[in-house]
Every structure is written in C-alpha cells, then in structure tokens.
Amino acid sequence: MPSAPGGSLLQSVRRDIASMKTRGAGEIGRQAALALAGAAKAFRGKSLAEFRSRMREAATMLAAARPTAVSLRNGLNFVLAGAMTQKTLDAARREVVLRAERFATDVTLAKKRIAELAAKELSDAERILVHCHSTAALGALVEAQRQGKRPIVFATETRPFRQGLITSRFLKENGIDVTLIVDSAALHVMETQRVTRVLLGADAVAADGSLYNKIGTRQVTLAAKSLKIPVMVCAETFKFSPYTLEGEEVVIEERDAAEIVDAKELPGVKVHNPVFDRTPPEQVTVFVTDAGRVVPRDVAKFIRARFGGEKRWI
C-alpha cells in the first residue's frame, strides 16, 4: 500500500526482511506483525471494509518477503484476525495493535520456554553441532551455560550468508566454548570431535514432521543419522505450518546468485542459490516447542490441536 500513510514503514520493514537485514524466522515474524500494527495506526480512511482490505494487502506483501518462513504468515494471520473479526473501524484498529503486541511478546516468551525445556535435555559438557543462526537454539545453549552445564559447540560457517559467524560471536560473548568450522567439515567434525547432539532452529515444520531450515540442514542431519547422533530442533509453535495439513507445500526460497559469487568472476556459469532445504522426519529426533516436546510422527496432531478451526486470511 505505497500511497497510504504507514506505507513507507511497511515498505522499509519489507525491504529489511527481504534483504536479510532483519533475519531469522522468529524475528521476521515479530517485525512483520509490528509493521502491520504501525500501518493500522497510520490508516486515515473511514471505512472498515477499506481498512480490512489494506491490512490484508499489507500482510500479503510482507509475507512474500521470505516465502519459506511460516512464522511470517502465522504471525500476520493472528494480527489480521483483529481487523477481520471486529465490527467497527476503531475496534478493529485497536485489536490489530493489541494482537501485534501480544504476538511480539509471545515470540520472546516462547523462546524463553524453549530455552528452559531444551537446556534440561542437555548433559554436562555436551559436544553440540549447530547450523546457521537460530535464536531459539542459541537460547537453549545460553540457558545450559547459565545452569553450569558448559556446552562445547561447533558452529558451521553456513554459506553463503555466513550466519555461523553471528552464532559464533554470540556464543563467545556468552562465555560458551565455540569453534567455527566450514560446512563441508560437519561430518568429519561430528565423528572426530565426538559430537553428541545436533541442535537446530526451524523456518517451518510441516504436517508430516519434516523440517524446513537453512540450506545444508539436510546434509548435517543425514550425517548425524549416519553416526546415530540425535537431532534436536527448537521450534516455536508458530513455526508449525497449518497450510501443510491441507497439502500445501513449503516453498523453498531461492536468492540472488550474487550472494554466492560475483557473476563477473565466472562468465557463462550458471549459479543456483536455494537457501533452505527439507529434512525428512526420520532425520529429526525431536522438536522442542514452547508447548513441550513433539516427535515428528505427532506433528500433524500438534498442528491440528494448535491451529485447527482457526481462520486464515493470507
């Protein structure tokens, strides 16, 4: 909604999400929900119908910025319900703002709960491999460290965007023993460094129990399976996809080849940059959610219990 008041805020949040200035599934969901509240406050029209259609348009535009992360659509639908269910413009605006604030708070609370639950599962001095940068997974490590468990972490670099550097810096700042490795060293390091667990975040969890997360997750979890190392995924409830219950497939986002290499260095060479992948359920041991542990075969039941009957607008 570029011409509407609030349009520039929406555009700048969308740009930050699309360019990965704001990134990580939880954070982009939180920022998008708050942007919708900002647009609701700035709406100057007089009709509820126009408000609803502007809100929906804005939510659709924000959700398209990163298509794999279902946290975006789940958060935006939760906020949109405020616009769609209230009977007056004022009440609708108020409810949108309240819901956005509640979602933003829930994002933080869910991470805290997951940190407590996941940390409980970790033993003292566990040797843990992490991939990419998941604030939900890192919360568990910080909590374990706070409890004196002293985890020893190996962080993959995570090409091409190198989120592993953010992870390593964060862990170091929190006093946690961390070693950065290149992605292709994952299997070798798991074996030679006696890694006992792989710890991950999620962009989406599908009804069949499969996990969508940063590209390379599938390889890391396959390596873990070959060495019988358990894979624990920290995933807030809003990372579970109700759309997949109805058979919708999770879209794997592809990004600009320039993130991998400057085209001028390789004239005529095609470059392909899928940034997420699908890990099948048999490569995940458990999802630790804010509502407790969920094993892959119970994911459909979990999604039905959490989202069943809820209306969705985008």
Cα gap 77→82, rounded to integer Å: 9
| Binding of residue 167 to ligand RUB (CB under 6 A) | no
* Contact stretch for ligand RUB (CB under 6 A) within 82-90, 133-141, 178-186, 258-266: 133-141
Sheet strand arrangement including 152-156: 177-181, 152-156, 127-130, 197-200, 231-234, 286-289, 292-294
Pairing relation of β-strands 276-279 and 211-214?
Answer: antiparallel
Using alpha carbons only, give the angle 32, 141, 127 rounded to the nearest 5 degrees: 135
Task: Kindly state the smallest distance separating residue 161's Cβ from ligand RUB, in Å.
Answer: 6
Query: Long-range contacts of range 8-13, CB-CB < 8 Å, 24 or more positions apart?
Result: 9/35, 9/38, 9/39, 9/42, 10/35, 10/36, 10/38, 10/39, 10/58, 10/61, 10/62, 13/62
Task: Kindly state the smallest distance separating residue 111's Cβ from ligand RUB, in Å.
Answer: 7
Nearer to ligand RUB by Cβ, of 83 and 234: the residue is 234
Identify the active-site residue in 203, 234, 277, 290: 203
| Binding of residue 136 to ligand RUB (CB under 6 A) | yes
Instruction: Please give the size of the binding site for ligand RUB, defined by CB under 6 A.
Output: 17
Identify the active-site residue in 106, 132, 277, 290: 132
Q: Which of 6, 151, 201, 242 binds ligand RUB (CB under 6 A)?
A: 201
Cα gap 243→240, rounded to integer Å: 9
The secondary structure element, H or E, covering residue 180 is: strand 177-181
Nearer to ligand RUB by Cβ, of 143 and 203: the residue is 203
Task: Kindly state the smallest distance separating residue 309's Cβ from ligand RUB, in Å.
Answer: 26
Burial of residue 299 (number of CB atoms within 10 Å: 0-12, 13-18, 19+): buried
Nearer to ligand RUB by Cβ, of 14 and 214: the residue is 214
**264 three-state secondary structure:** helix
| Binding of residue 213 to ligand RUB (CB under 6 A) | yes
Nearer to ligand RUB by Cβ, of 33 and 132: the residue is 132
Q: Do you know the residue count of the chain?
A: 314
| Binding of residue 128 to ligand RUB (CB under 6 A) | no
Cβ-contact 234, 199 below 8 angstroms: yes
Nearest to 289 by CA among 27, 74, 86, 109: 109
| Binding of residue 135 to ligand RUB (CB under 6 A) | yes
| Binding of residue 275 to ligand RUB (CB under 6 A) | yes
Q: Which of 52, 113, 197, 214 binds ligand RUB (CB under 6 A)?
A: 214
Q: Catalytic: 256? A: no
Task: Kindly state the smallest distance separating residue 218's Cβ from ligand RUB, in Å.
Answer: 12
Q: Which x/- pattern over 37-76 shows residues binding ligand RUB (rule: CB under 6 A)?
A: ----------------------------------------
Q: Catalytic: 203? A: yes
Cis check for the bond before 160: say yes or no (omega within 30 of 0). yes
CA 195 and chain centroid, separation: 24
Name the site residues for ligand RUB (rule: CB under 6 A). 23-27, 132, 134-136, 161, 163, 201-203, 213-214, 275
**Residues acting as catalytic residues:** 132, 203
